[in-house]
Amino acid sequence: MNQRILLVDGTVIKDTYHGATTDTFSLEEAISGLKEGLQLMKEGGKTRFVVPPDLAWGNRGAGSKIGPNAALIFDIRLEKVIDR
C-alpha cells in the first residue's frame, strides 16, 4: 500500500506516495486502528483514517517522531492484498 502518515498538526511522519516502493506488512503487524480500517477496504481503494491515540501507539509513542498520546492521520491507497 501507499500511505502518508501525518500528525494532526500536519507534520508528515512518512510518505510512500512519491517513492519507488510501497509499504508491505501483515495485518497482524498493523496498529489497532489500521487493522480495523484496512479490513473494510478493497484492493485499489483510497481512504483517510483518523486514528485516536488508544488505537495507535497510545501513551508510549513510537520513536522520535510520534510522541505519547498522538492521534494520527493515514492517507492510504491499498495497492494489493496478498493472502499468506
Q: Look at residue 14 and tell me if it is in a domain.
A: yes
- Cβ atoms < 10 Å from Cβ of 6: 18
pLDDT confidence of residue 11: 96
Q: Residue 42 pLDDT > 70, yes or no? A: yes
**Structural domain of residue 68, as residue ranges?**
2-77
In 3D space, the residue among 58, 22, 61, 62 whose CA is nearest the CA of residue 43 turns out to be 22
pLDDT digits (tens, 9 = 90+) for 7-38: 999 999 999 998 888 899 889 999 999 999 99
Q: Give the count of domains, the chain.
A: 1
Confidence of residue 43 (pLDDT cuts 50, 70, 90): very high
Task: Give mean pLDDT, residues 40-48.
Answer: 95
Degrees to nearest 5, angle at CA 32 with 67 and 28? 115
Query: Residue 84 pLDDT > 90, yes or no?
Result: no
Domain assignment of residue 18, yes or no: yes
User: Is 82 inside any structural domain?
Assistant: no
Residue 84 lies in a domain: no
Structural domain includes residue 49: yes
